[in-house]
Structure 1
Amino acid sequence: MKKDIIIHGDVWAGLEFIKDNSVSVAITSPPYWKQRDYNFEGQIGQEESPEEYIGRLVTIFNKLRQKLKEEGVFFLNIGDKYLNQYGKSHLLMIPYRLAYHMVKDGWHLEEIIIWYKPNHMPSSVKDRFTNTYEPIFVFAKRKENIYKDFYKREKKNVVEIPLQQTPWKHTAVYPENLVQEMLNRVNLNDGDIVLDPFAGTGTTGVVVKNLRNGFLSKEVYSIMIEKGNEFVKIIKERVGVEDIIQVKEIPYTWHSAKEENLPSNIDSLLLVNDKHGEVHIAQTYEEFLSILKGMRTKEFKSFHREDALYFVGIKEWNLQSLYYVHAIYKYGYVVRNMLVVSNGSKWYPVFMLSRDTTKVAYKFYLDRVRTNPKIKEERDWTKEEFIGMKVRDISGKTSREGQVVEILEKYPDEFPKIIVVQWNGEASIEFVMHPEKDEFLMEGLRFFCARCNTELIDPYDPIEKNVCPSCGLELWINVETIPIIKEPKEILECVNDLEKSDYLVGQIVDVVYFKIEKNGSSSKFHSLDRINWGASPGARKLVEGEYFTKMRLYRIDQPIVAQYLTLLRKSKNMRIQDVISKFPKEYYHTVGHWFRKDFGGSIPIPEDIKLLRKVFNIHDGLLKILERTALKFQTVKTSVKGKNPGDYIKNRNEEELIAFLKKLYVPSNEYLLTMSKK
């Protein structure tokens, strides 16, 4: 074969077209499960269950193995998926489950490479680490293969390669440098073929073309299989392929993967050191599985709080250890992260686990481990255009979109302070919080003992008694023991200043009506066209469109609100049913959730707070605070408190790692005591 080939059609039919034992290297990244919809029937990645998805890929890759030469290798890049369920989301461990079943199907697993993305996709998650890496599996047809020489020489299974800007609307493009790195690990010869069965935009073909035309002058060619019409056009343009082979779809069958439980011949090992959580780095596979089995026992569960957090790692890991972690879900736990601990060349995993309960959220003190706090950014607001800017309202029962049509009042630096927003059908006067106040809003509300005025670092514990550490007063047992709640003075100044304004915030006003075109996405990245979606959040200039969001002024834990409302209700000798009776009929299934402290609980929206204040005849306190809303300026930026460190942890020894992870769950009083000793 002396040319690159595009096979336009289904992957199974495309593989059927290729001769057996003809491919030296296969490299690909298939559609991830339930991540993206490519809008054609029967697409891979939209199966009903992870097991069906895994079984389908095992079948496809079995066919691919037939196409490899005896010494051939297969580089597989695949990402994971969180299954969102009531209360918590569970990391499904799909890549490692797939690899396990592929090995059972006859593949030889040579290596698992961690691809760390320094400019990874930003994330707003606050109850786990941000995902910053993906695994790349190196499979071979047999133990003696063309990857062996590299592995014996380098023994490096971590690569740090940034995401690459691309001019195509494809959100799952892996960078050319990643493909180049993988192909550098094998000894390609003239006449060798590189296959990509899920070619996408043809990155593999571009790299192969560069190898052929570069200083190495390797006569290497690519075969790319792609079903999408638009992607085929892109491949043709990028790689310069003239001929496209059309193949008709060929039906094929597959079976869902059958998952295994933890091995029964392993004894249990109990970790009962701290009721708030555990950190343990196992040395061996047997020790690691013993810990997982120990977590199933009544002794382990009864010793730890329901909101405890667990970090369990393994130094001498193997594929089986990564595979069996998924089985912990059957025993009442969820996998929240698989952390990768690396020295830059080798790695080992540490799993972050929590109880699968809807009663209480686990403690995760992210602010303690953030890195690189944001340097205050100066922007010249006099040069910014705000008229016509999009406004999203998420403070009510349903979200809505509008646009800024008039600026009534400005801050001294010309940033809008009071504006008119045109919604579909009406317009209203709205207050805008200055971006400089973000750090104070992030600090949030502060709670103080009702007797001695000592600040409470952890204001409410839904599991154990709440006792003031200074005077011993038991808090949250009646309205007299509700902690004193204070707002940041910098925010209060804004609120008080607003009350003196000539404008009534929230007032409906008459403006010239015009229709607002709705956009299908609420993402900050929705309008990106020829910009990679994985670009660094610091490159705000690459993002088309900033906007305002109308939302509650402060974020607060729902159990605190539920306990506060419960004490108010009891002080009025009211049952929950009595409160429900004060609301319209459509609230029948809503009001009860305001008093729940589990994951079924909810916080009343500001318009409902007004009704609650009338029901309880309360005109100050937490209810008044919860009623406050403001427009906040939304842009892609690092938090004022710093960056989430992400799930790739580099250059920490075991002692440093354990200390780092314990910061995430130890009680605040204990943490502050530790910090004061330092």
Structure 2
Amino acid sequence: MGGNMNKDILLHGDVYACLDYLDDDSIAVAITSPPYWKQRDYKFEGQIGQEKTPEEYIGKLVKIFNKLRQKLREDGIFFLNIGDKYLNQYGKSHLLQIPYRLAYHMVKDGWYLEDIIIWYKPNHMPSSAKDRFTNTYEPVLVLAKSRNNIYQNKRPKVVEIPLQQTSWKHTAVYPEKLVWEILKRVELKDEDLILDPFAGTGTTAVVVNKIRDNLYCKKIYSVMIEKGDEFVDIIKERTKIKKVIRVKDVNYEYQPVIDVGLPKDVSPNPILKDKRGEVYIAQDQTEFLSALKGITLDEFKKFHREDALYFFGVKKWDLSSLYYAYTIYQYGYVLRNMLIVSDENSWYPIFMFARDSTRVAYKFYLDRIRIKPKTKEKRKWQEEFIGMKVKDISGKESIEGYVVKVLEKYDDGFPKVVVVQWNGKASIEFVIHPEKEEFLMEGLKFFCPKCYSELTEPYDPIGDNQCLTCGQQLWINLETIPIIQEPKEISEIAKELENNEYHIGQILNIKDLKRKKVSSSSKFLLLERINWGASPGARKLMLGEYFTKMRLYRIDQPFVAQYLTLLRKSKNMSIQDVINKLPKEYYHTASHWFRKDFGGSIPIPQDVELIKAIFDVQNGLLRILKRTALKFQTVKTSIKGKNPGDYIKNGDYIKNDDDLIKFLKLLYIPSNEYITIVAQMEKSKSEEVLKKNRFIIEELTNEGKE
């Protein structure tokens, strides 16, 4: 390009060709966020991010950034913000660790990694994933051409900056505040050039302009590179850059990166404490890699259940910690999250991973760790729920109805039993309170049929099914199936309904429901006073809130498959014999009821009557499978609380390592153990309140005596 620039410039063209246009050793700071792999298609030829594999994507960026390094001054700094991606290539979706693999290969290519800043986004995008934490942060890699550079490593390692709303047509704009924060970390001088090789809508140039226009700031200038014609127009409008140069594309070759496995010189240290999962936080890199190497041993795999969940962290980490965590897929595991534990001045990673099993899903009870709202919204439940929409998703086809009567409430006024009208029909439905979801949907208890002791695991598809108290082998035949007990809250309602010839979820004609004779002492006498004639226009619309009718209990599919298998064998029937007794539409689905892997399925409630008729059974698990309930769905502040996400800030709800370990263990321990722990915690809280009240009473009493 020749000579030092004294004004802003926009280079319009392919990034590699545009970098070639710049003088070597001319750039003080580069700051950018390239298109993420397979995230968005910008619809122009030669774009970055649409490579076939992540290895090609990383290899291409390594090549481009090698050229960028030539353009940096010897003391220059490169700030690289890049997001991650999941790839469903290994059975379950695997976190690719793209930022840290890229950093690893850039360091191999000659860069120095000075720092990794965590950008936490308080208003992050929500996620529908229920088997992992929601992503709430992105890393900013700080790379240098030499160790003697202008980076000032004194500011916090974590920055909390919300995503910025913009009117510009671009779905991946990083906020101006992030650029401001980054540029505060370098020692700038007049005439310094700030480069953004993937300029997008020109946010970096906007911030550079604001810094330069401030009377007391440095007279710095921006160099923007952008390939997309539409974005070039936006940059010109936003930044008023006058000098725009069109650069002709050039051909260049790059090679996909090749990743390696865990280091061979590391001694494995298998963590063998809990067969259901492990929480292990290493103090340094050596301990961490030894523990990570331990998961490759048969000893580790044999000790743990196939559905176990693991959390391995390291406090004093380096880049290799972040890189090698990705390689566990080579040993039959999937990386699901990289959690960040932070106190602002520093952070460390905790990796959540599980076996890449095609037979069972790992345990992950997200609702247990939701953050409760600080203030509860006061609502008139009775007034709001009449007329609320109900979507029945428990059957083969989804149908809609609406609540016409609340028969019973929880203590806080939330409906407990309601009547739902469905196009001329009606049903009495049990409603799951959002705060009791774990206790109800996971609330089944199982007991040994011989000694009646409670079982921790009702059925283990990959282990030994034996009562630990009396040694009874379980699941051999129908006589050795565990006894099932429903939560008292549900069984009492079910019994009262059945005494009045109703069943939870039973669909009846409205006239049949009104004609039923109920005892005068029953709360369900209120059925006679339902205003069935309410027109749709008279019903209250509940924008964003509704109920779904679904299976009441969460039951593992292998458990159901084993039960149906024993039923089938007790009648000396093959799977084909069962299929032959079903309607034709079941020919391709019924066989899946007997599978104990991810290809299996659980019969829907309306299928249960067919199964009862085939095997001539009425109770047991089939009754449980038929149970349905209404679950509250809302887009408002959830009663259950907020998904905490993959960023954990010390001091919020985690005070120390013990708190963190307990917090993570809540995600996989069995429901009966969790319920016991919560009950103990509630009891402890009550005792604390009681002690406090006693102290206050004693204090007031003493004051009265004085």
Shorter-chain TM-score range: 0.7 to 0.9
Q: Structure 2 vs 1, CA of residues 221 and 497 (structure 1 numbering), >3 Å: closer, same or farther?
A: same
Inter-partner Cα distance in structure 1 for 2:165 and 2:62: 31
Name the structure 2 match of 1:228: 228
Q: Give the letter for the 2:602 counterpart.
A: I
In 1, Cα distance between the equivalents of 2:505 and 2:303?
Answer: 51
Structure 1 equivalent of residue 80 of structure 2: 76
Q: 1:673 to 1:141 in 2, by over 3 A?
A: same
Once residues 349 and 311 of structure 1 are traced to their aligned partners in structure 2, the CA distance between those partners, rounded to angstroms, is 10
CA-CA distance at 1:130 after TM superposition: 2.4
List gaps (5 residues or longer) in structure 2.
408-412, 514-542, 685-706
Render the CA deviation track for 1:388-422: whole Å, top value 9, x for unaligned.
Answer: x999886667x88x9x8x9794669999975779x
Contact map agreement 1:374 1:638 (CA 8 A) in 2: no
Identity of aligned residues (%): 61
Amino acid at match of 1:603: I
- Map 1:256-267 onto structure 2 (within 5 A): 256-267=256-267
How far apart are residue 382 of structure 1 and its match? 11
User: Would you say the 8 A contact 1:368–1:663 is kept in 2?
Assistant: yes
The equivalent residue for 1:561 is 560
Residue in structure 1 matched with residue 531 of structure 2 by the alignment: none
Aligned to 2:444: 447
- Between the aligned partners of 1:393 and 1:45, the Cα distance in structure 2 is 41
Q: Tell me if the contact between 1:430 and 1:630 (Cα under 8 Å) persists in the aligned partners.
A: no
Q: Distance in 2 between matches of 1:432 and 1:204?
A: 60
3-state SS in 2 of match to 1:126? coil
**1:232-381 maps to which residues of 2 (within 5 A)?**
232-242=232-242, 244-372=244-372, 377-378=377-378
Query: Equivalent residue of 2:310, what SS?
Result: strand
Q: Please tell me whether the aligned partners of residues 24 and 72 of structure 1 are also in contact (alpha carbons under 8 angstroms).
A: yes
The answer to whether the aligner puts 1:646 opposite 2:653 as a matched pair is no
Q: Residue 519 of structure 2 aligns with which residue?
A: none
2:661 is aligned with 1:658: yes
Aligned residue identity for 1:326 = Y
**Does 1 or 2 have the higher relative contact order (CA < 8 Å, sep 6+)?**
1
Question: Which of 123, 127, 137 is the matching residue for 1:119?
Answer: 123
Cα 1:254–1:380 change in 2 (3 A) is farther
Partner of 1:50: 54
Aligned-residue offset at 1:597: 2.4
Match for residue 521 of structure 1? none
Q: Distance in 2 between matches of 1:261 and 1:561?
A: 39
Q: 1:368 to 1:248 in 2, by over 3 A?
A: same
Q: Deviations over 1:239-283 (max 9, x none)?
A: 334554434433322111011122222222232233233333223
Matches within 5 A, 1:173-252: 173-242=173-242, 244-252=244-252
Q: Equivalent residue of 1:235, what SS? A: helix
Q: Name the larger-Rg structure.
A: 2
- Tell me which residue corresponds to 1:575: 574
RMSD: 4.1
Look up the match of 2:517.
Answer: none
SS at match of 2:444: strand
Question: 1:399-410 residue pairs with structure 2 within 5 A?
Answer: 409=404
Q: Is 2:143 aligned against 1:139? A: yes
Pairing partner for 2:97 from 78, 87, 93: 93
CA offset at residue 355 of structure 1? 1.9
Quote how far apart the aligned CAs of 1:104 are. 0.8
What is the rounded CA distance, in whole Å, between the counterparts of 1:201 and 1:390 in structure 2? Answer: 43
CA distance in 2, matches of 1:198, 1:162: 21
Counterpart check, 1:27 vs 2:31: yes
1:73 CA displacement: 0.9
Q: CA 1:298–1:555 in structure 2 vs 1: closer, same or farther (change >3 Å)?
A: closer
- Separation in 2 of the partners of 1:207 and 1:354? 43
For residues 585 and 419 of structure 1, do their structure 2 counterparts lie closer, same or farther at Cα, with a shift above 3 Å needed? closer
Output the amino acid matched with 1:123: S
Compared CA separation, residues 485 and 384, structure 1 to 2 (3 A): closer
In 1, the alpha carbon distance for the partners of 2:598 and 2:466 equals 24
Find the aligned partners of 1:631 and 1:653 in 2 and give their Cα distance: 38
Which letter maps to 1:165? Q
CA-CA distance at 1:83 after TM superposition: 1.8
Alignment partner of 2:302: what SS? helix
Cα 1:497–1:131, aligned 2, differ >3 Å: closer, same or farther?
A: closer
Q: Mark the runs of 5 or more structure 1 residues left unpaired by the alignment.
A: 422-427, 506-543
Would you say 1:103 and 2:107 are equivalent positions? yes
Residues in 1 aligned to 2:374 and 2:468: alpha-carbon distance in whole angstroms = 33
Distance in 1, Cα, partners of 2:512 & 2:281: 59
Stretch deviating more after TM superposition (330-339 or 494-503): 494-503
**Counterpart AA for 1:595:** F
Q: Which residue of 2 aligns with 1:60?
A: 64
Report the TM-score, using the length of structure 1 for normalisation: 0.79
Q: How does 1:508-523 map to 2 (within 5 A)?
A: none
